[in-house]
Copies of this chain bind each other. A is one copy, B any other.
């Protein structure tokens, strides 16, 4: 008898110097609640037979709408005081993909990436062409005020007119990599991955990180795995991190856990590349490795309990 296909979902809300000392109990609870709610959104879709692509899209929309995370509504301020966002999504069944970079005022960048996947001849669009495409597709725009959060504004005020940029809403001694992402395998055995970010506080405008780069920040292939990354993007681009995990499985026969541990704890670390990733395999294996102090993360495999975590366990 053929093994009944199961399903699984994993997500992240960024990695970095996240320690127990840096979060108040109240804030920690808010993060855990938000992660748990996003997990439920994707899990319910998968349980009802929805596709992995739909599940990761809806999960990331939920995380983008939450001001706690640096993506969508909670995006940080760039050097000029704008919110510039990147996102990408990939379908493991047919290797179709959509990615966008440097967009402003798009309520849910992951939905724009998804429109590029489904309704464009292209894979990768950037501002302002990406915004023109968004208008043609009838996507929701929001005024700058929608993306305003006092905490992000204060962080930017502390850095503007300096050459310092920050990877997220962190204190000076901290580094946080503000990204959200989700990966899933559905009841049909199809995989998908999605990633979205608001970039780095006070970054020079028009820097592109790994989030919208297919193969670096996002990758999905039904033969192997779906991967969504969060970390110091430059290292993830140079190491083609997401596709590397797929190749280690397909060409070298490693398991998802072996492949993702090798990439995060050895290859990236050896180059000084800080961050982590979430991944699921076509066999519903889940991996959530990170080499930073913490990573907002969660996973839920069919028939098991959901897990949500922040620090090193």
Contact = CB atoms under 8 A, between A and B. Distances in A.
A237 interface: yes
Nearest to A101: B126
Interface stretch (A14-22, A105-113, A245-253, A303-311): A245-253
B204 A122 contact: yes
Contacts of A102: 126
A124 B252 contact: no
Contact of A234 (B101, B122, B248): B122
Interface stretch (A34-42, A168-176, A205-213, A280-288): A205-213
Give the interface residue-count category, chain A. 35 or more
Contact of A247 (B95, B216, B247): B247
Interface stretch (A52-60, A127-135, A145-153, A293-301): A127-135
A126 B126 contact: yes
Contacts of A252: 251-252
A133 B205 CA distance: 10
Contacts of A248: 247, 251
A192 interface: no
A65 interface: no
Interface string A198-222: 0000001111110001111001000
Nearest to A95: B238
A205 B127 CA distance: 9
